[in-house]
Amino acid sequence: MSNPAAFWDKIAPGYARRKIGNPDAYQATLARTRSYLTPTDRVLEIGAGTSSTALELAASVAHITATDISTAMVEIGREKAQAAAVDNITITQGGVGDASLSDGAPFDVILAHNIVHLVPDVPGALAQVHSLLKPGGLLISKTPCIGEKPLIRPLVAVMRAFGKAPDVVHLTIAGLERHLAAEGFETVERLVQTGFVPTLYVVARST
Protein backbone atom coordinates (compact mmCIF):
# COMPACT_ATOMS: atom_id res chain seq x y z
CA MET A 1 0.00 0.00 0.00
CA SER A 2 1.42 3.39 -0.97
CA ASN A 3 -0.64 5.18 1.68
CA PRO A 4 -0.88 3.12 4.88
CA ALA A 5 -2.82 5.85 6.71
CA ALA A 6 -5.53 5.70 4.04
CA PHE A 7 -5.74 1.91 4.44
CA TRP A 8 -6.31 2.17 8.20
CA ASP A 9 -8.73 5.10 7.77
CA LYS A 10 -10.81 2.96 5.43
CA ILE A 11 -11.06 -0.02 7.73
CA ALA A 12 -11.34 1.92 11.02
CA PRO A 13 -15.14 1.59 11.49
CA GLY A 14 -15.07 -2.17 10.93
CA TYR A 15 -11.92 -2.53 13.02
CA ALA A 16 -13.63 -0.76 15.93
CA ARG A 17 -16.66 -3.08 15.73
CA ARG A 18 -14.64 -6.28 15.40
CA LYS A 19 -14.54 -8.54 18.42
CA ILE A 20 -11.17 -9.62 19.78
CA GLY A 21 -10.30 -12.93 18.17
CA ASN A 22 -8.78 -14.52 21.28
CA PRO A 23 -9.99 -12.61 24.35
CA ASP A 24 -8.17 -14.88 26.79
CA ALA A 25 -4.84 -14.24 25.08
CA TYR A 26 -5.57 -10.51 24.95
CA GLN A 27 -6.37 -10.37 28.66
CA ALA A 28 -3.22 -12.35 29.42
CA THR A 29 -1.15 -9.85 27.43
CA LEU A 30 -2.81 -6.96 29.26
CA ALA A 31 -2.08 -8.55 32.63
CA ARG A 32 1.53 -9.25 31.71
CA THR A 33 2.00 -5.70 30.45
CA ARG A 34 0.25 -4.20 33.47
CA SER A 35 2.66 -6.01 35.77
CA TYR A 36 5.50 -3.83 34.45
CA LEU A 37 3.65 -0.53 34.92
CA THR A 38 3.70 1.75 37.96
CA PRO A 39 1.35 4.57 39.04
CA THR A 40 4.03 7.18 38.28
CA ASP A 41 4.80 6.00 34.74
CA ARG A 42 4.39 8.19 31.70
CA VAL A 43 3.65 5.88 28.79
CA LEU A 44 3.60 6.19 25.00
CA GLU A 45 1.74 3.71 22.82
CA ILE A 46 2.68 3.61 19.13
CA GLY A 47 0.17 2.16 16.69
CA ALA A 48 -2.62 2.39 19.24
CA GLY A 49 -5.46 1.87 16.76
CA THR A 50 -8.69 2.91 18.47
CA SER A 51 -6.85 3.09 21.82
CA SER A 52 -8.55 0.05 23.35
CA THR A 53 -5.34 -1.17 25.00
CA ALA A 54 -4.33 2.32 26.14
CA LEU A 55 -7.72 2.79 27.79
CA GLU A 56 -7.43 -0.58 29.52
CA LEU A 57 -4.03 0.35 30.94
CA ALA A 58 -4.65 4.02 31.75
CA ALA A 59 -5.70 3.32 35.35
CA SER A 60 -2.30 1.73 36.04
CA VAL A 61 -0.16 4.75 35.06
CA ALA A 62 0.12 8.50 35.59
CA HIS A 63 -0.48 9.34 31.94
CA ILE A 64 -0.60 7.52 28.62
CA THR A 65 -0.24 9.03 25.16
CA ALA A 66 -1.82 6.89 22.43
CA THR A 67 -0.75 7.57 18.86
CA ASP A 68 -1.81 6.22 15.49
CA ILE A 69 -1.22 7.26 11.88
CA SER A 70 -4.95 7.02 11.10
CA THR A 71 -7.10 10.06 11.79
CA ALA A 72 -10.19 7.84 11.79
CA MET A 73 -8.69 5.54 14.43
CA VAL A 74 -7.73 8.57 16.53
CA GLU A 75 -11.24 10.02 16.32
CA ILE A 76 -12.80 6.73 17.42
CA GLY A 77 -10.30 6.46 20.26
CA ARG A 78 -11.14 9.95 21.50
CA GLU A 79 -14.84 9.12 21.46
CA LYS A 80 -14.17 5.98 23.50
CA ALA A 81 -12.04 7.88 26.01
CA GLN A 82 -14.73 10.51 26.45
CA ALA A 83 -17.43 7.87 26.90
CA ALA A 84 -15.29 6.05 29.48
CA ALA A 85 -14.43 9.33 31.27
CA VAL A 86 -10.70 8.52 31.18
CA ASP A 87 -8.88 11.80 31.77
CA ASN A 88 -5.21 10.73 31.94
CA ILE A 89 -4.94 9.86 28.26
CA THR A 90 -3.94 11.92 25.24
CA ILE A 91 -4.88 10.47 21.86
CA THR A 92 -3.13 11.99 18.89
CA GLN A 93 -2.17 11.32 15.29
CA GLY A 94 1.40 10.28 14.70
CA GLY A 95 3.54 7.39 13.60
CA VAL A 96 7.02 6.00 13.73
CA GLY A 97 9.45 8.53 12.31
CA ASP A 98 7.30 11.54 13.25
CA ALA A 99 8.94 14.21 15.40
CA SER A 100 5.60 14.63 17.21
CA LEU A 101 6.23 11.39 19.10
CA SER A 102 8.81 13.25 21.17
CA ASP A 103 6.09 15.36 22.81
CA GLY A 104 6.19 14.32 26.46
CA ALA A 105 9.48 12.44 26.10
CA PRO A 106 11.36 10.89 27.72
CA PHE A 107 8.90 8.15 28.60
CA ASP A 108 9.12 5.45 31.24
CA VAL A 109 7.47 2.86 29.01
CA ILE A 110 6.71 2.61 25.30
CA LEU A 111 4.14 0.11 24.04
CA ALA A 112 4.33 -1.22 20.49
CA HIS A 113 1.76 -3.97 20.15
CA ASN A 114 1.14 -5.36 16.66
CA ILE A 115 2.95 -2.50 14.95
CA VAL A 116 6.66 -3.30 14.47
CA HIS A 117 5.98 -5.60 11.51
CA LEU A 118 4.10 -2.76 9.80
CA VAL A 119 7.08 -0.38 9.88
CA PRO A 120 9.31 -0.51 6.77
CA ASP A 121 12.48 0.49 8.65
CA VAL A 122 12.51 -1.69 11.77
CA PRO A 123 16.02 -0.68 12.96
CA GLY A 124 15.14 3.00 12.49
CA ALA A 125 11.90 2.55 14.41
CA LEU A 126 13.64 0.83 17.31
CA ALA A 127 16.33 3.52 17.36
CA GLN A 128 13.64 6.20 17.63
CA VAL A 129 11.91 4.30 20.43
CA HIS A 130 15.22 4.02 22.27
CA SER A 131 15.73 7.78 21.97
CA LEU A 132 12.29 8.47 23.45
CA LEU A 133 12.80 6.31 26.55
CA LYS A 134 14.38 7.30 29.83
CA PRO A 135 17.61 5.41 30.59
CA GLY A 136 16.46 2.02 31.80
CA GLY A 137 12.97 2.58 30.36
CA LEU A 138 11.00 -0.30 28.94
CA LEU A 139 9.80 -1.18 25.46
CA ILE A 140 6.92 -3.66 25.64
CA SER A 141 5.99 -5.08 22.27
CA LYS A 142 4.07 -7.90 20.68
CA THR A 143 4.93 -8.64 17.07
CA PRO A 144 3.63 -11.22 14.59
CA CYS A 145 6.79 -12.73 13.05
CA ILE A 146 5.48 -13.56 9.61
CA GLY A 147 8.93 -14.57 8.42
CA GLU A 148 8.57 -17.75 10.47
CA LYS A 149 5.91 -18.85 7.97
CA PRO A 150 7.42 -18.17 4.52
CA LEU A 151 4.66 -20.09 2.76
CA ILE A 152 2.13 -17.37 3.63
CA ARG A 153 4.15 -14.68 1.83
CA PRO A 154 2.21 -15.22 -1.45
CA LEU A 155 -1.10 -15.00 0.45
CA VAL A 156 -0.08 -11.70 2.01
CA ALA A 157 0.97 -10.41 -1.41
CA VAL A 158 -2.42 -11.28 -2.92
CA MET A 159 -4.29 -9.64 -0.04
CA ARG A 160 -2.18 -6.51 -0.44
CA ALA A 161 -2.90 -6.43 -4.18
CA PHE A 162 -6.65 -6.37 -3.44
CA GLY A 163 -6.35 -3.78 -0.68
CA LYS A 164 -7.14 -6.31 2.05
CA ALA A 165 -3.84 -6.06 3.90
CA PRO A 166 -1.25 -3.37 4.62
CA ASP A 167 2.42 -3.57 3.76
CA VAL A 168 4.20 -5.88 6.18
CA VAL A 169 7.77 -6.79 7.05
CA HIS A 170 8.38 -10.53 7.13
CA LEU A 171 10.28 -10.61 10.41
CA THR A 172 11.61 -13.74 12.06
CA ILE A 173 11.83 -14.07 15.83
CA ALA A 174 15.63 -14.26 15.76
CA GLY A 175 15.81 -11.34 13.36
CA LEU A 176 13.64 -9.13 15.55
CA GLU A 177 15.70 -10.00 18.61
CA ARG A 178 18.89 -9.09 16.73
CA HIS A 179 17.40 -5.72 15.82
CA LEU A 180 16.49 -5.08 19.46
CA ALA A 181 19.99 -5.90 20.68
CA ALA A 182 21.62 -3.82 17.94
CA GLU A 183 19.56 -0.75 18.88
CA GLY A 184 20.53 -0.88 22.55
CA PHE A 185 17.85 -3.01 24.18
CA GLU A 186 18.39 -5.73 26.77
CA THR A 187 15.66 -8.37 26.94
CA VAL A 188 13.93 -8.62 30.31
CA GLU A 189 11.27 -11.12 29.27
CA ARG A 190 10.36 -12.89 26.07
CA LEU A 191 7.44 -15.14 25.25
CA VAL A 192 6.72 -16.79 21.92
CA GLN A 193 3.01 -17.22 21.43
CA THR A 194 2.16 -19.94 18.96
CA GLY A 195 -0.60 -19.78 16.39
CA PHE A 196 -1.07 -19.44 12.66
CA VAL A 197 1.75 -16.89 12.85
CA PRO A 198 4.14 -17.04 15.84
CA THR A 199 4.12 -13.85 17.87
CA LEU A 200 6.98 -12.53 19.98
CA TYR A 201 5.99 -10.73 23.17
CA VAL A 202 9.04 -9.00 24.57
CA VAL A 203 9.89 -6.64 27.37
CA ALA A 204 13.21 -4.90 26.67
CA ARG A 205 15.11 -2.32 28.71
CA SER A 206 16.97 0.56 27.10
CA THR A 207 20.66 0.49 27.94
Q: CATH no. for residue 52? A: 3.40.50.150
**Residue 18 domain boundaries:** 4-206
Beta bridge partners, 93, equal 68
Q: Which letter does DSSP use for residue 140 in this model?
A: E
Give the pTM: 0.94
Distance of CA 102 to the CA centre of its chain: 16
Q: What is the pLDDT of residue 153?
A: 83
Q: Which letter does DSSP use for residue 105 in this model?
A: P
Tally of domains within the chain? 1
pLDDT in tens, 183-195: 999 999 999 998 8
pLDDT in tens, 27-55: 999 999 999 999 999 999 999 999 999 99
Rounded mean pLDDT, 107-133: 96
